[in-house]
Structure 1
Amino acid sequence: MTLFDLGGRRALVTGSSGGIGLELARGLARHGAAVLINGRDPGKVRAAVQTLQAEGHEARPAPFDVTDEAAVNTGMQALLQDGPLDILVNNAGIQRRVPLTDVTLDTWDEVLRNNLTSAMLVSRAAAPGMIAQGHGKIICTLSLMSELGRRTTGPYTASKGGLKMLVKAMCAEWAEHNIQVNGIGPGYFETDMTAPLVQDEQFSGWVRARTPAGRWGHPRELAGAAVFLASDASSFVNGQVIYVDGGMLAVL
C-alpha cells in the first residue's frame, strides 16, 4: 500500500474549486497529500478548501488565473515559498461548442489559453523546483477529444490534442530529472460543464449506447488514475495517457 501513499507531498490542482478538479484533489488528499486548491474565484476556492478541511483533509487556497502569465508567476512564487511541489495536476479547462465555420478568433484563443497554454505556464513555473529536488509528478487532464473529433468541438479538440503532445514534450525534457509527466483522458462524465448534454435525452442516450459500460462516468471515478500517476506506483510510467472512458475508445 505504500506505493500509493502520498503522505508528506504537496499537490497543486488547477481548476479545483469544483467538478472534476475538486474530485481529483479529494482523491489525492485521501491518500495523504496536502492539496492546494486553485481557481479564479477566491470565494469558490475558499469554499472548496473548507469542504475538504471539514472532511479531515489538509487543504489550502491558491487562487490565481492560470491563463494569465503574470498571475501564474505571482501565484506560483507565493506557494513555492513553502518549498517545491511534489505533484502538479493541470486540470483547468473550458468548452465552447461552436461550428468551425462560425468560431471567432477570440473564442479559439480563449479555449486554447484555458486548456493548453495554462498547462504550459504552470508546469514551466513548477518544473525548476521539481528538478532541483530530484523528483516530481505532473498530470494533465486530457479528454477523449485528444484522440477523436466531434462536430462543434473544434477549439476544444485542438486544445486537448495539443495538451496530449505537450505531455510528451515535457516527458522528453524532464524525465531525466525523475519527473513523470502523464495524462488522464476522461470520457463522458457528469459535470457542470456537461449538464446540458446529460439533460439532452437524445445525446445522453447516444452516450449510453456508445459506451460499453452503458452509462456516464462520475467524477470520483477519475481519482484512482490520479492517485496512481501521482504515486510511486507509476515511477516508470512517463509520457502516457490513461483513458477513463467506460471503454468508449476500445470499440467501434
Structure 2
Amino acid sequence: MYLPDFRLDEQLAVVTGGTKGIGRAIALSFAQSGADVILIARNQKHLETVSKEIESLGRRAYVIAEDISNYKVIKEKVETVRDGRTIDVWVNNAGMNIRSEAEDVTEDEWEQIINTNMKSAFFLSQYAGSIMKKKKRGKIINISSVGGHMALRTGVVYAMTKSAMIQMTKNLALEWGKYQINVNAIGPWYFPTSLTEELLQDDDYVQAILERTPLKRIGKLEELSGAAVFLASDAGNYMTGQTLFVDGGMTIYGF
C-alpha cells in the first residue's frame, strides 16, 4: 500500500468565480499543491488580489475579467492565456442564486440563473473537454450543491441548475471516460461565501441549519478545497461521475 500523489506540480488549472469564497479557496489550494491557475471573474481588482496571493506561493496566476455568461469570449481569452499549454484541471465554480419563492420567480431571474449556473458550465466543460481529449487526460470539477440533491425552502431555479450539474457530471464522465477525462462534482452545504453571508447573520436561520447538520457547525473553506485537490490530483484518478458532498452530514437529514 502507498499514499497516492496529491500534488499538482506544473499543472495548469482554471477556476471560474475564482476570487471569492469557494473559488478563491480552491484556487489557492491548487497553487499550494503546485499548479498555475487561470482565474476567471468579473472584478479586476479582486482578480489582481488573488493573483498576488497565488504568486506569493511561488506559482503563476493569469486573470480573465469577464462575466461567466460570456463563455464564447472567455474561451478566446483562455486560448490566449494558456499559450499552447494544455489545461489539466477545470473547475466550474461561478454561480448565483436569487432566493425567490416559486410563484415569485420572474423570467429575467430564470434566465440569469440558468445562464450563469448551467449554460456556461456546460459550454465551458465542452471547451475544456476538447482540449483534454487531445492529451487523453484531464479533470473537470463542477461545484454543485446539496440543493441539487435535497429540497430547499427557497431558490427553486438555483436548485434545478445544481441538480442539472450533477446529471451533467454523470453524462460527461460516461462519454469522456475513454479519453481518461475524470468529471466529478462537489456538493457543499453552508460555507462562508458571498451567497451565504446575509443568511449566516440570521441567528434563527443558522440554528435551523445546525439542527440539520450532524457536525453542528458551518463548514470552513479549507475543508472544501481539500476535496477539490483530491479530485484534481492523481489520488482521484479512479473517481469519475461522482458528486462528493462536503456537508457536515446534512444529506443524511434533508432540509
TM-score by length of 1: 0.95
Q: Which residue in the other structure is 1:17 paired with?
A: 19
Q: Which residue in the other structure is 2:179 paired with?
A: 177
CA distance in 1, matches of 2:154, 2:211: 21
* 1:77 maps to which of 71, 75, 79: 79
Task: Provide, for residues 147-204 of structure 1, a one-character-per-residue CA deviation record: whole Å limited to 9, x for no partner.
Answer: 0122221110001001111111111211100000000110111112101111011000
Give the superposition deviation at 1:81: 2.5
CA distance in 2, matches of 1:224, 1:67: 27
Give the superposition deviation at 1:66: 2.0
Q: Which residue in the other structure is 1:96 paired with?
A: 98
The sequence identity of aligned pairs, in percent, is 34
CA distance in 2, matches of 1:65, 1:117: 13
Q: Which residue in the other structure is 2:149 paired with?
A: 147
**Count of aligned positions:** 252
CA distance in 2, matches of 1:2, 1:210: 34
Specify the SS of the correspondent of 1:243: strand
Q: Which residue in the other structure is 1:106 paired with?
A: 108
Q: What letter is aligned with 1:131?
A: K
Specify the SS of the correspondent of 1:138: strand
Specify the SS of the correspondent of 1:60: strand
Q: What letter is aligned with 2:100?
A: V
CA distance in 2, matches of 1:158, 1:17: 25
Q: What letter is aligned with 1:53?
A: E
CA distance in 1, matches of 2:46, 2:7: 28
Which structure 2 residues correspond to residues 1-252 of structure 1 after superposition, within 5 A? Answer: 3-251=5-253
Deviates more, 1:120-129 or 1:130-139: 120-129
Specify the SS of the correspondent of 2:67: coil
Deviates more, 1:150-159 or 1:71-80: 71-80
CA distance in 1, matches of 2:133, 2:65: 24
CA distance in 1, matches of 2:64, 2:111: 25
Call closer, same or farther: CA 1:116–1:140 in 2, change over 3 Å: same
Give the superposition deviation at 1:69: 3.5
CA distance in 1, matches of 2:125, 2:157: 22
Question: Where do 5+ consecutive residues of structure 2 fail to align?
Answer: none
Q: What letter is aligned with 1:222?
A: L
Deviates more, 1:186-195 or 1:8-17: 186-195
Deviates more, 1:68-77 or 1:8-17: 68-77
Q: What letter is aligned with 1:21?
A: G
CA distance in 2, matches of 1:8, 1:102: 48
Specify the SS of the correspondent of 1:152: coil
Q: What letter is aligned with 2:181?
A: I
CA distance in 2, matches of 1:192, 1:182: 24
CA distance in 1, matches of 2:85, 2:59: 20
Task: Provide, for residues 71-104 of structure 1, a one-character-per-residue CA deviation record: whole Å limited to 9, x for no partner.
Answer: 1232232234232200000000011000110100
Q: Indicate conservation of the 8 Å contact 1:63/1:75, yes or no.
A: no
Q: Indicate conservation of the 8 Å contact 1:16/1:25, yes or no.
A: yes
CA distance in 2, matches of 1:135, 1:89: 15
Q: Indicate conservation of the 8 Å contact 1:76/1:126, yes or no.
A: no
Give the superposition deviation at 1:114: 0.9
Q: What letter is aligned with 1:248?
A: M
Task: Provide, for residues 113-154 of structure 1, a one-character-per-residue CA deviation record: whole Å limited to 9, x for no partner.
Answer: 111111112111111111001100000001000101222211
Q: Indicate conservation of the 8 Å contact 1:190/1:218, yes or no.
A: yes
CA distance in 2, matches of 1:191, 1:243: 17
Give me the CA root mean square deviation.
1.4
Moved over 6 A (4+): none
Q: Indicate conservation of the 8 Å contact 1:76/1:125, yes or no.
A: no
Give the superposition deviation at 1:2: 5.6
